[in-house]
Amino acid sequence: MTQNLQTFEMIVARSHGNYLSYLSVDSMQSNNRINKLLGRLTLFTVIIVPMNIVTGLWGMNVPVPGRETTTLAWFFGIVGVILGWAVLLLLLLWRMRLI
């Protein structure tokens, strides 16, 4: 009977070590997924923040370029620069295989 208890104790001790190593590997995999997600969120922020700064200036009491003109050329020029920035960064990040 004591032989059986010692055998079961050894089996439980081994399975406990295997379980702890499994938890370690699982934790490492979830950390890698979180790091990849945070990297992509950072790239998204790099694209969005400059556009937010430019568009935020329109809501402030600052002189906007082309305010005195009657055409919308300045407006579409600024919007074009913002969209060009986004497309350029997306292409650059795609080329570097980050997205």
Question: Is the model's pTM score more than 0.75?
Answer: no
User: With helix as H, strand as E and coil as C, how does 69-87 read?
Assistant: CCCCHHHHHHHHHHHHHHH
- Residue 35 CA to residue 28 CA, distance in Å, equals 10
User: Into how many domains does the chain fold?
Assistant: 1
Q: Amino acid identity of 97?
A: R
pLDDT value for 74: 85
The band of 51, judged by pLDDT with boundaries at 50, 70 and 90, is: confident
Q: Where residue 19 sits, what CATH number does that domain have?
A: 1.20.58
Closest of 76, 81, 22 to residue 51, by C-alpha? 81
The answer to whether 55 touches 90, Cβ cutoff 8 Å, is no
Range of the domain at 10: 2-95
pLDDT tens digits for 23-44?
888 889 999 999 999 988 888 8
